[in-house]
A = this chain, B = another copy of it.
Amino acid sequence: MSELAEELRRELDRYSPGGKLPSSRALVERFRVSPVTVSRALAQLSAEGLVITRPGAGAFRARPRATETAAGDTSWQEVALSADGAAELVPRTVDASGVTVSLAAPPPGVLEFNGGYLHPSLQPERAMAAALARAGRRPGAWGRPPLEGLPELREWFARGIGGAVTAAEVLIAAGGQAALATALRALAQPGAPVLVESPTYPGMLALARAAGLRPAPVPVDAEGVRPDLLADAFRASGARVFVCQPLFQNPTGAVLAPARRAEVLRIAREAGAFVVEDDFVRRLVHADAGPLPRPLAADDPDGVVVHVGSLTKATSPSFRVSALAARGPVLERLRAIQVVDSFFVPRPLQEAALELVGAPAWPRHLRTIAGELQARRTAMTSALALHLPELALPHVPSGGYHLWLRLPDGADESALAAAALRAGVALTPGRPYFSAEPPAAHVRLSFAAVAGTGEITEGVRRLRAACDEVL
């Protein structure tokens, strides 16, 4: 169908605006396709505004849209958009650049060491297509789901957390970012401080700032957040929220040490504060990882933890299905904000998620990516050790999709990123991961978004050239 539409699109110049196209029958004969195909192709062009179809009369080339001149004056908006700034406790800043850097497609030929998602070859494309098709055909698939999400899907997420968490304590949300946005807006008022790990995921910083919050950093080492500094930070800031990634932290890859888990919960509890647990890569574990620590939320009877889990990282960027889990009055606050802001997650996506995780292919998929990610991580760490010994890798993670490298003293990470791009590899500079002054220059290298270990070796070779140029 799209081929015929493409063909007709190319031919449209032959007709004058308003001119009649050949009849459907003539098109059927000429292109040797069915009348349905012709009808669909014309509908497609009609949807694009290129063709006008008049029942009984035929199809006509559309006249160019009236080019009403767009000569308006929008400069007044600069005043309007800055108005009321003086009334604000903390000016909201909305800067999407920390997010878009991991969402934009790289230029052709550039190896994607900056991607936050699995390479298409690692995505369960067939299983997702099948799940979606089945979901869309279920009777009532497009109707209103329960506002909190499908019960079976809530149950599945609750089981993934473990502990005493029940389906009733889970809300389905539209991807991890949306769940974090809901959590931050539910837990903190504009102007309030919020503690974040340092370094941390730039999307978290962007969310906090867009909500008018003041992110305050708490340093992370190879064993996760430092409890002594966390206690200090609660005291100094008066914050009521601490956002963290206890498992395979982004960007360091750190796992919160067993001894620190109870400490973090106790400190937050004593501060009368919530812990937002962004459990973002629990399903992106490497084959050699061994048993994982369970989520903090599983050890939290008092409702300190608001847990965010997601299916996106283990599937595909557009599989935007996530869950918020919480216990106590905060659950209603989360639910109300989510309902008011966006109603609910489209039912077909929720049904597709259930189909996908219930299919026999799902555990196979998880095993496959566990093996692939281990192989890629090993390929990248080996190549780096061999060819780029001056980049320090303090921690080799056994989960997640990236490495966090410290540059030699005095190195300029922006210059390195620019040189790398010229050499044909995109990487992520470390600066946006710090809410305050960074202790050193860093880069983050992802091994999930490239086609395979061959691209990893080639990418490290290109990085060598970039380092030779600027370090």
Contacts and interface: CB of A to CB of B under 8 A. Distances in A.
Given A142-B316, A272-B76, A67 B339 contact: no
Contact of A203 (B48, B155, B340): B340
A348 B317 CA distance: 11
A459 interface: no
Contact of A129 (B48, B136, B177, B335): B136
B302 A76 contact: yes
B302 A83 contact: no
A3 interface: no
A95 interface: yes
A386 interface: no
A70 B327 contact: yes
B144 A273 contact: no
Interface in A304-343: 315-320, 327-330, 333, 335-337, 339-343
Interface in A85-116: 85, 87-89, 92, 94-96, 99-100, 103-105
A117 interface: yes
A357 B144 contact: no
A323 B246 CA distance: 37
Contacts of A47: 152, 156, 354, 357-358
Contacts of A301: 69-73
A189 interface: yes
Nearest to A166: B70
Contacts of A159: 49, 65
A174 B135 CA distance: 19
A100 B344 CA distance: 11
B175 A343 contact: yes
Scoring A147, A189, A207, A319 by chain B CB atoms within 10 A of each residue's CB, the highest score goes to A189
A87 B88 CA distance: 11
A300 interface: yes
A219 interface: no
Interface string A399-419: 000000000000000000000
A133 B131 CA distance: 9
Contacts of A103: 144, 147, 339, 343-344
Contacts of A337: 94, 210
A57 interface: no
Contacts of A80: 187, 240, 272-274
A182 B285 CA distance: 35
A58 to B, nearest CB: 14
Nearest to A95: B336
B333 A84 contact: no
Contacts of A346: 318-320, 346, 349
A394 B217 CA distance: 59
A132 B348 contact: yes
A371 interface: no
A304 to B, nearest CB: 9
A192 B84 contact: yes
Contacts of A343: 99, 103, 175, 177-178, 317, 320
Given A89-B87, A240-B84, A340 B207 contact: yes
Interface stretch (A13-21, A36-44, A423-431): A36-44
Given A72-B303, A81-B329, A341 B181 contact: yes
Nearest to A47: B358
Contacts of A302: 72-74, 76
A4 B253 CA distance: 43
Contacts of A236: none
A122 to B, nearest CB: 12
Given A79-B272, A99-B340, A206-B340, 19 more contacts: A43-B362, A47-B152, A47-B357, A65-B159, A77-B274, A77-B328, A80-B274, A87-B89, A87-B189, A88-B190, A92-B189, A92-B190, A99-B339, A100-B147, A133-B137, A142-B317, A178-B343, A210-B336, A318-B347
- The 5 A-B pairs at the shortest CB distance, nearest first, are namely A72-B301, A74-B328, A142-B316, A47-B358, A132-B136
